[in-house]
């Protein structure tokens, strides 16, 4: 969740640390801080709130030093205030941390009994004091850090400064990602590729149990058995320009409008354009014999899994389950020995999903990770991975990553269907043709943004709303409700339209906004029946449909608001109906004046359970 940056250089580093934190602020913005070593003394500046407050403090505070660490926080232990901001320090040690120390209370009590005084409510400060105690006992800096991580339980990535080692930066991984980036006479640590892409052309991810000792010209990595090891150095290939807002006011707006382009890029990696056939890469097992599929994810990625269930079941004739990662492994469900489990995550670092992946591998499941970050932990831990090619997504509320996940899931479902004989070549070509139409259909929807702006103005004062749909439109409705909740703080719920009469219909009252997704498909007439139920209770309906759907509701069109999209099919409908929901959420949030890219209490990469 939190973001870590660190740097060893020949020049002063404080300004570079702050710039690095700006690239990490999507991971947390409750508070921030940096620490450096100068004359073998640790110096620190911290601030509550987002980075502008830290920058203001640094205008009047000198923070010299050619080595330093920085942190932007998403609060777990302790409220978002300056005393809980990282780095946490003693006279000998400074620590920044991403993760959770699960035995924090036990360790804290032991330290308090030994006379330690705490200045914060965080679990991280415990680590700081433990390292210090080992140094005071006479251990070296490295041995003190190694002994400390043997004492703690949980997930963590640490950046550590030791006052007596003014030219060495230490990095530790235990379940949360951290990587090293190298440049001329400078070495960096960071939480992800994006945080390091402005400073280095390459990146080296640590593995669990690793401790790295980093100087400005070199670094060494020691694994959990204390053996000196080499980890693979990878090129950073993402364009930094993809991570700038350009002409857009917010990253979210930019990323919504990038969808035709990034979806086309994703398609180009999975489709043979010359022959209109799939070119999904071969996987290290036989997909034709898969007996069942389980899709595991959190948040928007879970809704992508619910949408994809339709494709997998219709195209493969294989039983499909969709599971929320945070609940899945604790149920310990029986798993078919010939099953395929697919894990969906934008970052590839989502703690719940990663834990579920490791659990399923231990049960002998075939595993695939569908991710946006090709060198992520989930990629490294699964048998195979498929990248979604969305490019960096900085807005906390997922938009383009969600639709690119759908692209890869659709391609994989068609691929399995062809391999097990459920689909023939002509059917594959038809579905590929539909996939290739999606960038155009999304562009057509984006061209109608002015209509969404007008609709948002009409709805700018809403405090609660419902989203309804059937079939694939049910998870599209849930995703639409989630977007509105995330960035505008409006209470919103997505329901299956047919379930209204089993309870939620009690919520309907005059002028309550109700969004209904109703493409003119086989479920259209049933959805219109639910539409009548809503109108009869005087709720205010906003119907998303196509021309054919609008024609078929007759006189009802005068009782509702409508937003028309192009006619769709089983492949394209989820994409086309997702777009207006993203735009509605964005423009209502603008009118309400919320922080669109950094909504309260949320962070982009959820690396704690």
Encode pLDDT of 309-368 as tens digits: 999 999 999 999 999 998 998 888 888 888 999 999 988 888 888 888 988 988 889 999
Say whether 430 sits in a helix, a strand or coil: helix
**% of residues, the chain, pLDDT over 70:** 97
Exposed/middle/buried for residue 218 (C-beta within 10 Å: 0-12, 13-18, 19+): exposed
Q: Are residues 48 and 164 in the same domain?
A: yes
Among 103-107, 109-113, 195-199, 282-286, the minimum mean pLDDT is found in: 195-199
Position 607 in a domain: no
**pLDDT greater than 80 at residue 242:** no
Q: Are residues 209 and 295 in the same domain?
A: no
| Token pair for 458 | 């009409």
Position 603 in a domain: no
Q: Considering only CA atoms, which of 318, 307, 414, 299 is closest in space to residue 366? A: 318
Q: 2, 128, 360, 379: which one is catalytic?
A: 2
Q: Are residues 155 and 181 in the same domain?
A: yes
Q: How far apart are CA 476 and CA 259, in angstroms?
A: 16
Q: Are residues 263 and 400 in the same domain?
A: yes
pLDDT tens across 253-280, in order? 999 998 988 898 899 889 988 788 999 9
pLDDT tens across 491-516, in order? 999 999 988 888 888 888 898 999 99
Position 543 in a domain: yes
- φ, ψ of residue 174 to 5 degrees: the values are -150, 65
Q: Which residues pair with 96 in a beta bridge?
A: 159
Query: CB-based contacts of 594: which residues, under 8 Å, 6+ apart?
Result: 487, 488, 489, 600
Q: How far apart are CA 250 and CA 254, in angstroms?
A: 6
Containing H/E element for 269?
helix 259-270
| Token pair for 370 | 């569908």
Query: For residues 417 and 410, is the Cβ–Cβ distance under 8 A?
Result: no
Q: Considering only CA atoms, which of 360, 315, 313 is closest in space to residue 340? A: 360
| Token pair for 229 | 């090891």
Say whether 561 sits in a helix, a strand or coil: strand
22/97: higher pLDDT:
97
Mean pLDDT across the stretch 465-492?
96
Q: Are residues 560 and 461 in the same domain?
A: yes
Domain membership of residue 325 as a residue range: 243-443
pLDDT tens across 406-464, in order? 999 999 999 999 999 999 999 999 999 999 999 999 989 998 999 999 999 999 999 99
Q: Are residues 335 and 368 in the same domain?
A: yes
Number of C-beta neighbours around residue 229 at 10 A: 13
pLDDT of residue 403: 97
Q: 92, 366, 415, 604: which one is catalytic?
A: 604
* Helix/strand/coil percent split, the chain, to 5: 40, 25, 35
Q: Considering only CA atoms, which of 474, 424, 422 is closest in space to residue 318? A: 422
**pLDDT greater than 50 at residue 11:** yes
Q: How far apart are CA 122 and CA 11, in angstroms?
A: 32
pLDDT of residue 609: 52
Q: How far apart are CA 549 and CA 560, in angstroms?
A: 13
Q: Are residues 60 and 135 in the same domain?
A: yes
pLDDT of residue 443: 87
Q: Are residues 525 and 438 in the same domain?
A: no
Q: Considering only CA atoms, which of 459, 473, 474, 450 is closest in space to residue 539? A: 459
Of 191, 212, 237, the residue that ends a domain is 237
pTM of the model: 0.73
| Token pair for 199 | 């400073």
| Token pair for 451 | 């209509």
Question: Before 87, cis peptide (omega within 30)?
Answer: yes
Task: Please state the three-class secondary structure of 11-72 as a single string.
Answer: CCCHHHHHHHHHCCHHHCCCEEEEEEEECCEEEEEEEECCHHHHHHHHHCCCCCCCEEEEEE
Write the CATH number for 273. 3.40.50.10490
265/110: higher pLDDT:
110
Residue 604 among the catalytic residues:
yes
Q: Which residues pair with 235 in a beta bridge?
A: 202
Helices and strands, counts by H and E, the chain: 19, 27
Position 309 in a domain: yes
Q: Are residues 361 and 507 in the same domain?
A: no
Say whether 233 sits in a helix, a strand or coil: strand
Please tell me the total count of domains within the chain: 3
Mean pLDDT across the stretch 2-24?
92
Say whether 147 sits in a helix, a strand or coil: helix
Of 237, 262, 295, the residue that ends a domain is 237
Position 194 in a domain: yes
Q: How far apart are CA 598 and CA 175, in angstroms?
A: 25
pLDDT band at 44 (very low <50, low <70, confident <90, very high): very high
**pLDDT greater than 90 at residue 213:** yes
Containing H/E element for 300?
helix 299-316
Position 604 in a domain: no
Containing H/E element for 476?
helix 473-488
Containing H/E element for 142?
helix 141-151
Query: For residues 41 and 95, is the Cβ–Cβ distance under 8 A?
Result: no
Q: Are residues 122 and 170 in the same domain?
A: yes
Q: Are residues 334 and 431 in the same domain?
A: yes
């Amino acid at each position: 969740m939190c973001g870590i940056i660190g740097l060893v250089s020949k020049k002063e580093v404080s300004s570079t640390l702050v710039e690095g934190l700006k690239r990490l602020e999507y991971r947390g913005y409750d508070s921030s801080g940096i620490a450096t070593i100068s004359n073998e003394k640790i110096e620190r500046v911290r601030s509550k709130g987002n980075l502008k407050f830290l920058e203001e403090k640094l205008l009047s505070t000198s923070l010299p030093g050619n080595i330093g660490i920085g942190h932007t926080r998403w609060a777990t232990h302790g409220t978002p205030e300056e005393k809980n901001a990282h780095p946490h320090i003693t006279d000998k040690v400074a620590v920044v941390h991403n993760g959770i120390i699960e035995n924090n209370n036990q360790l804290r009590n032991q330290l308090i009994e030994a006379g330690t005084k705490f200045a914060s409510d965080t679990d991280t400060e415990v680590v700081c004091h433990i390292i210090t105690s080992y140094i005071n006992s006479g251990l070296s800096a490295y041995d003190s850090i190694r002994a400390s991580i043997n004492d703690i339980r949980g997930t963590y990535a640490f950046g550590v400064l030791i006052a007596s080692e003014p030219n060495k930066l230490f990095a530790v991984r235990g379940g949360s990602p951290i990587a090293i980036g190298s440049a001329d006479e400078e070495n960096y640590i960071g939480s992800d590729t994006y945080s390091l892409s402005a400073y280095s052309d390459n990146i080296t991810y640590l593995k669990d149990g690793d401790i790295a000792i980093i100087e400005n010209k070199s670094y060494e990595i020691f694994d959990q058995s204390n053996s000196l090891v080499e980890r693979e150095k990878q090129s950073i290939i993402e364009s930094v320009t993809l991570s700038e807002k350009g002409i857009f006011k917010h990253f979210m707006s930019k990323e919504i409008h990038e969808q035709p382009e990034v979806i086309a890029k994703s398609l180009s990696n999975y489709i043979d354009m010359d022959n209109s056939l799939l070119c999904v890469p071969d996987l290290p097992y036989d997909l034709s014999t898969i007996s069942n599929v389980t899709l595991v994810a959190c948040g928007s990625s879970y809704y992508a899994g619910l949408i994809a269930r339709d494709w997998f079941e219709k195209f493969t004739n294989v039983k499909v389950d969709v599971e929320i990662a945070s609940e899945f492994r604790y149920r310990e469900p029986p798993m078919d020995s010939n099953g395929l489990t697919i894990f969906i995550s934008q970052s590839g670092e989502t703690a719940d999903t990663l834990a579920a992946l490791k659990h399923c591998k231990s049960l002998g499941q075939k595993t695939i990770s569908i991710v946006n970050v090709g060198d992520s932990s989930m990629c490294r831990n699964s048998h195979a991975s498929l990248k979604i090619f969305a490019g960096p997504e900085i807005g906390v509320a997922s938009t383009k990553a969600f639709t690119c996940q759908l692209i890869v899931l659709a391609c994989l479902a068609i691929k399995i269907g062809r391999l097990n004989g459920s689909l023939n070549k002509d059917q594959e070509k038809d579905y590929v043709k539909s996939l290739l139409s999606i960038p155009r259909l999304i562009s057509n929807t984006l061209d109608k943004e002015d209509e969404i702006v007008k609709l948002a103005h009409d709805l700018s004062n809403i405090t609660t709303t419902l989203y309804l749909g059937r079939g694939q439109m049910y998870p599209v409705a849930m995703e639409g409700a989630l977007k509105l909740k995330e960035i505008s703080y409006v209470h919103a719920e997505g329901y299956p339209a047919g379930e209204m009469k089993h309870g939620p219909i009690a919520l309907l009252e005059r002028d309550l906004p109700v969004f209904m997704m109703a493409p003119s498909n086989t479920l259209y007439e049933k959805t219109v029946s639910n539409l009548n139920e809503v109108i009869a209770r005087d709720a205010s309906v906003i119907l998303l449909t196509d021309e054919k759907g609008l024609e078929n509701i007759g006189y009802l069109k005068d009782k509702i608001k409508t937003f028309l999209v192009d006619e769709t099919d089983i492949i394209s409908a989820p994409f086309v109906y997702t777009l207006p929901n993203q735009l509605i959420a964005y423009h209502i949030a603008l009118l309400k004046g919320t922080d669109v890219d950094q909504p309260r209490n949320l962070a982009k990469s959820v690396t704690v359970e």
